[in-house]
Structure 1
């Protein structure tokens, strides 16, 4: 009870200090003799910038978390060259060709990309095909090759990482024969 009260008081003090800092920055930015509307405009601009940067931080954290989980589960291959790779603004789609590394287990890639982003869906399908994956359904692909880290980074650049799921089949059960046939067919045709 007492801790809750203390927490609420400290939270209020923190919000007050944050508001004071924003207001001070807005007054200094607006300049001497600025009107109230100008100061309000500067306050709203600062708050909007903070919100955008918080969303960007959250997006980067989500990408980092996804990469870590995929690396931990050995679903992606991390090359030293991809670590040093710099991220440039995307002016066109990245090349859908990646180095392939043979894995020991079957991976299934599922995606649900909106119809208005059809070009991104086509790009992802060609990237998966180049990695040696075979289509199970239009948005479900299976293969044994490792997924390169660069593909995950490209999915993030295209802003479709949240629409893609990567699964590993450890105990395929009744799917085992079907998956083997698909993978054997793909290795014969490639």
Structure 2
């Protein structure tokens, strides 16, 4: 869940009081380059998860904070996650994250240019500082197709990163089943105009 701003650490205090994780995601570019957000894990169907998210949003508003986005993700192994482009659902998408550990002074411009060729972009958690001096950066890639296409796109991106000799600390893919304000990411990541639903229908 993304909020408009974290004034004086209010979101961090809210997270601590409610057992939630607080992040300050800093995008490399975009209309809202700093995105304070809350994250938590849940189990069960979509209805209960959305109800909980709406309840947290109400608590945030009561605390004087302004939620601007609710985003609900599922692990790709869940039932109902589309495997093929023909199974894609309008308004839903896959999102892959690769964590990189970069040395101080790494050429971020060159990295951004390389991943952009794979439809991916950079971000970091501004609240996270490593004791070993390495710089954590995330590479995010999205796909509106099925899981098979998503995995192929991710593999190509991983190969490109490995070709740069970069140290990877992990990669994961999630299926976004609900996103009520994708415009928050305007100017940061472009999902493109290749619509798998239209393509599979022969349009």
TM-score normalised by length of structure 1: 0.31
Structure with higher strand content: 2
Tell me which of the two structures has the higher relative contact order, counting C-alpha pairs closer than 8 angstroms and 6 or more residues apart.
Answer: 2
User: Which has the greater radius of gyration?
Assistant: 1
